[in-house]
């Protein structure tokens, strides 16, 4: 099934002083190296003088790039070790914003955040290790014994990405429609309004760090209304999910200084979650100095490791991975610029992925290891027959040749929590390793994803019709880097989740 997500974020404080950049440009590349706690980003078409501040509630470093637009779609990257996530988006038509948000209960010294402008177009930001300041005051104690909670509430889908409501096979006339979620009574109540009678259960979700409301016999409205959250709102985030065809889940993440109260049934069609602010929410703001670039007029390519980062070792070498290079034989897949063929590109990458995994002691099978066609059903049968633990399908994207501006990475999964985690791990590994636009992680009903019983993902390594991607995918060194990034993501998943 496909899920529809609504992520409501507080609007950012308008407390920044903007200045004109050297020349209008666009953010073409960014990555965060978790080993060094270093953010790297590059612009093209002009340099930039970043502006940065540390803002509290929640603690986050906000980096504005005046006079710069975003080359690709908005994006999120989930992290660990005190840093919760990185968000990249467009604030207005002349400002790109990078937000590095810390985990609840953590802070950092803004004086230790070090910017370095190698050129006006190439920057690095070194972050100190976040320091814990105590347990988060916003997390209320559970009202019932701890339960097994779902781990798939991840803020990893690209912001602004379009997703569709699942096709409901049940009789929707018998389901209540959740029409709106709004803050009322001077922001002391969160009202959930339906068109029919509803009942709900609730608990504290320790993994998501949010209050979880489950409404059976319900569906989300196609154009559901949500509150406009600001920096002073008692709620930091609201996440709506159509968990299955008959169940809606609402996650409410309280802001610092907010306690979650009771969930009350005001009427058959109206639920009210009580919110209590224990202290005023006045975010503190600290300016982070950003020195001018060392070479304002120079432009260098994005920084990449001079030597390949070692692949992570894994203890569980009993994991079986099925690598699935798409198409083959009479089915060449997409034909791109210069006549490059999808089948050749993905076979080259797939063979290298398999070899790298085998070097780490992983048992690997391939649905094809040459230029021949394998039916979709046969690919599924092969994975099931060898009892594969993971299924990774590799493809290259395409669009009309006239759209050379469309480039970037997409990763697909179908529905399971484990498949989502696998998609996230591979996707982030690629973004951290290669200069490629981020088009997000998405759900899809691809045959090999729906019919396999193990966690399965489909990686679209770029557009053979794209002006940038086609040149890169034609390069054997780039394909090797892509294969290594995919293999690293698979190994990281095995290391963390098996």
Catalytically annotated residues: 460
User: Which CB contacts under 8 angstroms, 24+ apart, belong to 416-421?
Assistant: 416/455, 417/150, 417/151, 417/152, 418/455, 418/497, 419/449, 419/455, 419/456, 419/457, 420/152, 420/154, 420/156, 421/151, 421/152, 421/154, 421/455, 421/493, 421/497
Q: What ranges make up the beta strands (E) of 36-188?
A: 38-44, 51-55, 60-66, 68-70, 75-78, 83-92, 95-102, 106-107, 114-119, 122-126, 131-132, 176-184
Beta-carbon contacts of 151 under 8 Å, excluding residues fewer than 6 positions away, are: 207, 417, 421
- Rounded Cα distance, 97 and 74, in Å: 10
- Rounded Cα distance, 421 and 490, in Å: 10
From the CB of residue 17, how many other CB atoms can be counted at a distance below 10 Å?
8
Q: H or E segment at 477?
A: helix 476-497
Choose among 286, 280, 272: nearest CA to 233: 280
Assign residue 187 a region (left: φ > 0; alpha: ψ between -120 and 50; beta: otherwise).
Answer: left
- Rounded Cα distance, 448 and 450, in Å: 6
Give whole-number Cα distances, 494 to 97, 361, 380, 425, in Å.
33, 12, 21, 10
Cα distance between the two ends of the chain? 24
Choose among 27, 28, 13, 55: nearest CA to 286: 55
- Rounded Cα distance, 65 and 62, in Å: 10
């Amino acid at each position: 099934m496909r899920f529809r997500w609504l992520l409501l974020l507080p609007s950012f404080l308008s407390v920044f002083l903007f200045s004109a950049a050297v020349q209008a440009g666009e953010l073409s590349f960014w990555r965060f190296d978790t080993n060094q706690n270093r953010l790297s980003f590059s612009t093209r078409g002009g340099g930039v003088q970043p502006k940065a501040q540390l803002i509290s509630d929640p603690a986050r470093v906000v980096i504005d790039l005046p006079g710069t637009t975003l080359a690709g779609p908005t994006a999120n990257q989930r992290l660990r070790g005190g840093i919760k996530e990185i968000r990249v988006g467009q604030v207005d038509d002349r400002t790109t914003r990078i937000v590095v948000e810390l985990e609840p209960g953590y802070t950092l010294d803004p004086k230790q955040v070090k910017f370095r402008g190698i050129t006006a177009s190439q920057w690095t930001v070194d972050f100190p290790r976040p320091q814990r300041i105590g347990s988060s005051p916003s997390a209320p104690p559970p009202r019932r014994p701890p339960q097994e909670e779902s781990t798939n509430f991840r803020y990893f889908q690209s912001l602004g990405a379009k997703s569709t409501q699942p096709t409901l096979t049940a009789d929707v006339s018998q389901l209540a429609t959740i029409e709106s979620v709004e803050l009322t009574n001077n922001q002391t109540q969160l009202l959930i309004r339906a068109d029919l009678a509803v009942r709900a259960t609730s608990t504290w979700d320790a993994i998501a760090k949010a209050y979880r409301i489950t409404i059976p016999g319900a569906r989300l409205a196609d154009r559901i209304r949500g509150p406009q959250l600001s920096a002073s709102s008692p709620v930091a985030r609201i996440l709506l999910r159509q968990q299955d065809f008959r169940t809606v889940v609402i996650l409410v993440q309280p802001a610092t200084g907010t306690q979650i109260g009771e969930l009350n049934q005001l009427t058959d069609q109206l639920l009210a979650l009580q919110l209590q602010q224990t202290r005023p929410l006045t975010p503190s703001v600290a300016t982070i100095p950003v020195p001018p670039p060392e070479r304002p007029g120079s432009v260098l390519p994005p920084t990449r490791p001079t030597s390949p980062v070692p692949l992570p070792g894994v203890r569980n070498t009993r994991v079986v991975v099925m690598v699935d290079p798409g198409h083959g034989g009479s089915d060449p897949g997409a034909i791109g610029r210069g006549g490059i063929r999808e089948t050749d590109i993905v076979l080259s990458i797939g063979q290298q992925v398999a070899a790298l995994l085998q070097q780490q002691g992983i048992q690997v099978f391939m649905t094809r290891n040459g230029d021949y066609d394998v039916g979709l059903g046969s690919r599924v049968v092969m994975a099931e027959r060898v009892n594969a633990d993971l299924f990774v399908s590799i493809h290259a994207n395409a669009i009309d040749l006239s759209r050379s501006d469309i480039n970037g990475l997409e990763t697909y999964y179908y529905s399971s929590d484990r498949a989502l985690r696998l998609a996230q791990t591979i996707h982030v590994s690629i973004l951290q390793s290669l200069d490629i636009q981020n088009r997000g992680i998405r759900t899809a009903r691809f045959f090999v994803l729906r019919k396999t019983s193990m966690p399965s993902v489909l990686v679209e390594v770029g557009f053979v019709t794209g002006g940038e991607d086609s040149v890169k995918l034609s390069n054997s060194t780039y394909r090797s880097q892509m294969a290594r990034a995919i293999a690293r993501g698979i190994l990281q998943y095995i290391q963390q989740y098996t």
